[in-house]
Amino acid sequence: MAEQQRGSIIVFEGPEGAGKTTQSRLLYDWCVDHQIPAVKAIEPGGTLLGQEIRAILLQDRNNDQIDPRAELLLFYAARLQNLKEVVNPSIKDGKLVIFDRFEGSSFAYQGVARGLGVKAITDLSRMFVQPSGCIPDLYLFLDVPPGLGLKRKLGEDINRFERENLTFHNRVRQGYFQLYRGIRDGKYRLAQHAEIIDATMPQDIIHKMVVNQVIKLLGREDLFL
Ligand SMILES: Nc1ncnc2c1ncn2[C@@H]1O[C@H](COP(=O)(O)OP(=O)(O)OP(=O)(O)O)[C@@H](O)[C@H]1O
Ligand SMILES: [Mg+2]
């Protein structure tokens, strides 16, 4: 029997309210409609351990004192469990794995905005993520000015990160730009390829741009929108 072709990994990144969850869902639905085997991977979460870690990290309760290094390692703990339980088996099955945040978030939030330094993330990635073969094929950075992203989320429950001030969120955004340039220049091996998408545009236009990127990635030019 012919060996199953390996799947691909695509990651949505970007600040709060950029539209990552919206675009992950639209892409997943598009895959289902076009018989492209796909799976959604949420960070942190996706596994039992991941859900418990998510509650610790995101809930707006008495967790203000979490040390940034502890925060970083908790994200990685959830991530590694997700890779083992969900991502690796899906990749082996030839599926497209759609991540709603991945290591890019650790880079921008803990590495840059919390000030831990990006080397902590590139080291953790080299030690634990890259050896498992889970280097994403494509990072899509949904870029919005933080004020707009946070405004979109008004009325929803806010988490521990959304409660940070605008200076913090601006640093997150700068972190994403730094990562984008580093991936493009081959300095950071967190992904094979990265694109920035202006996420102030309407959802359906962004979705078309996303789909066209995925079509190129999968070599399915017959499906161009
Ligand atoms: N392009 C868009 N234009 C206007 N509103 C949008 C757009 N994309 C998403 N939204 C809306 O903005 C809100 C936030 O979107 P979404 O939850 O997808 O963002 P997110 O990046 O996943 O946020 P978070 O970082 O909090 O997980 C939702 O109410 C969504 O409907
Ligand atoms: Mg989201």
- The tens-digit pLDDT sequence of the chain (225 residues) is 566 789 999 999 999 999 999 999 999 999 999 999 999 998 998 899 999 999 999 876 656 788 999 999 999 999 999 999 999 999 999 999 999 999 999 999 999 999 999 999 999 999 999 998 889 999 999 999 998 998 998 888 888 888 888 999 999 999 999 999 999 999 999 999 999 999 999 999 999 999 999 999 999 888 877
Contact 47, 78 (CB under 8 A): yes
SS3 148: helix
Return the CATH number at 33.
3.40.50.300
Integer CA distances (angstroms), 6 to 42, 64, 95, 121, 125, in order? 20, 41, 7, 26, 21
Structural domain contains residue 2: no
Question: What is the token pair recorded at 123?
Answer: 């080291």
Domain count for the chain: 1
- DSSP type of residue 16: T
Structural domain contains residue 1: no
In single-letter form, the type of residue at position 80 comes to L
Structural domain contains residue 3: no
Please choose, from the candidates 204, 194, 217, the residue with its C-alpha nearest in 3D space to the C-alpha of residue 11: 194
Helix (H) or strand (E) holding 121: helix 118-124
Whose Cα sits closest to atom 8 in ligand 1? 19
Q: Is the CB of 206 under 6 A from ligand 1?
A: yes
Does the pTM of the predicted model rise above 0.85?
Answer: yes
Atom of ligand 1 lying closest to residue 142 CA: 21
Q: Is the CB of 18 under 6 A from ligand 1?
A: yes
Domain of residue 214: give its range.
8-223
